[in-house]
């Protein structure tokens, strides 16, 4: 339909320069330039390196997105951009580019929340979001449980990580096991050959007073430390480390807690659709266990394909298009990049 809004979305909150274009609820293109290789030797994302890479990648990535989608910039109906949360310098590059485009083209600008965008992207994959939906976002920077009555303006936080994000725990444990950065995919692969009940690692905030006080919050730093101690003890004794078993047992502890809490939230809030997003949603064991537990609980599970789970521009374009479709007012052209933008603030 020609009257569906054509929206270009820009994402630069971390190390991915993403430019996506959607028409209404249909994804036309998802162009990505990643600087992950430049951070690998540091074992984590270096903010200054990421900002510089965004600057270099921005114009070529916008050009590539337009070319691949077969659209001209002047045909775009609105520009959307991640306003936060994320790395301050990295966000500034995207917000600056989006403002320049909006002014030059005379089009409305929507500054949107990165986390709400992770939720919205599933619309281009699996259709309109049920209202409300439960969403669990698990990535290198965030682990959150969200109740989402309306992704364009009503996102409620039920819980979040109190220390390490789920992906961060994967990355740190991978380092302990001598696996490359980012560690998630390597642990996932190693775990396939391992025994997930070989080692009984701790499950944070899942029992007693902790569960009462932190019903939907997460804690992974105790688990990370437990894995490091377990490995060190064997190394000191001169024993070989059973990498596959450690990976599988660690991974099981993470995905057990994540899926248990997500389904508890669905039950207590009487929501029958669970959406999982963020880089860790690519994890094969998380997908399998979530499916198993959702089936048992009568909950419909929605997980976008892996490329749409990790940071990308399509998710920002999708949320921007939803805002246009729902008639929401654009953001002010003076909108700030807000590195600690609260999850409950969908639009800047």
Binding site for Zn ion (CB under 5 A): 139, 311
Distance between CA atoms of residues 341 and 348, nearest Å: 8
Q: In sequence order, what DSSP letters do the residues of 165-234 get, joined into one string?
A: -HHHHHHHHHHHTTPPSS-HHHHHHHHTTS-TTSS----TT-SHHHHHHTTT-B--HHHHHHHHHHHHHH
Lay out the site mask for ligand KG4 across 180-199 (x = CB under 6 A, - = otherwise): --xxxx--x-----------
Give 132 or 167: the residue with its C-beta nearer to Zn ion: 167
Give 172 or 273: the residue with its C-beta nearer to ligand KG4: 172
Q: What's the closest the beta carbon of residue 71 comes to ligand KG4, in angstroms?
A: 26
Q: What's the closest the beta carbon of residue 238 comes to ligand KG4, in angstroms?
A: 30
With CB under 6 A as the contact rule, which of the stretches 53-61, 137-145, 260-268, 335-343 interacts with ligand KG4?
A: 137-145
Neighbours of 310 (CB within 10 A): 26
Give 76 or 290: the residue with its C-beta nearer to ligand KG4: 290
- Written as six digits, the tokens of 45 are 């994302």
Establish how many alpha carbons lie within 13 A of residue 202's alpha carbon, considering only the half-sphere containing its beta carbon. Answer: 17
Please tell me the count of residues contacting ligand KG4 according to CB under 6 A.
Answer: 19
Contact 13, 338 (CB under 8 A): no
Give 66 or 161: the residue with its C-beta nearer to ligand KG4: 161
Give 159 or 183: the residue with its C-beta nearer to ligand KG4: 183
249 forms part of the interface with ligand KG4 (CB under 6 A): no
Contact 309, 283 (CB under 8 A): no
Neighbours of 20 (CB within 10 A): 31
Residues that bind ligand KG4 (CB under 6 A): 14, 139-141, 167, 170-171, 182-185, 188, 278-280, 282-283, 310-311
């Amino acid at each position: 339909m020609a009257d569906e809004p054509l929206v270009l979305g820009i994402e630069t909150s971390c190390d991915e320069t993403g430019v996506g274009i959607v028409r209404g609820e249909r994804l036309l293109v998802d162009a990505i330039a990643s600087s992950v290789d430049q951070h690998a030797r540091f074992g984590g994302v270096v903010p200054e390196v990421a900002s510089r890479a965004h600057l270099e990648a921005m114009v070529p990535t916008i050009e590539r997105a337009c070319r691949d989608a077969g659209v001209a910039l002047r045909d775009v109906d609105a520009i959307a951009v991640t306003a936060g949360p994320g790395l301050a310098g990295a966000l500034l590059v995207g917000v600056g580019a989006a403002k320049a485009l909006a002014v030059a083209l005379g089009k409305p600008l929507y500054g949107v929340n990165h986390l709400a965008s992770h939720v919205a992207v599933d619309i281009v994959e699996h259709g309109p979001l049920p209202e409300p939906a439960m969403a669990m976002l698990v990535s290198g920077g965030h682990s959150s449980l969200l109740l989402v009555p309306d992704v364009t303006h009503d996102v409620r936080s039920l819980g979040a990580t109190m220390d390490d994000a789920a992906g961060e725990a994967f990355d740190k444990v991978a380092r302990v096991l001598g696996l490359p950065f980012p560690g998630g995919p390597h642990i996932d692969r190693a775990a396939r050959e391992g025994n997930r009940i070989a080692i009984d690692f701790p499950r944070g905030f899942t029992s007693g007073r902790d569960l009462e006080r932190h019903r939907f919050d997460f804690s992974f730093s105790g688990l990370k430390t437990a894995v490091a101690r377990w490995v060190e003890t064997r190394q000191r004794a001169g024993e070989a480390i059973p990498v596959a078993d450690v990976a599988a047992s660690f991974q099981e502890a993470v995905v057990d807690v994540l899926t248990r809490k997500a389904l508890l939230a669905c039950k207590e809030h009487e929501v029958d659709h669970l959406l999982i997003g963020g880089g860790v949603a690519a994890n094969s064991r998380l997908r399998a266990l979530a499916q198993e537990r959702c089936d048992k609980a009568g909950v419909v599970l929605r997980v976008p394909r892996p490329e749409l789970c990790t940071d990308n521009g399509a998710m920002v374009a999708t949320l921007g298009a939803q805002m246009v479709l729902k008639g929401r007012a654009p953001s002010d052209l003076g909108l700030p990049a807000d590195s600690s933008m609260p999850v409950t603030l969908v639009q800047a």
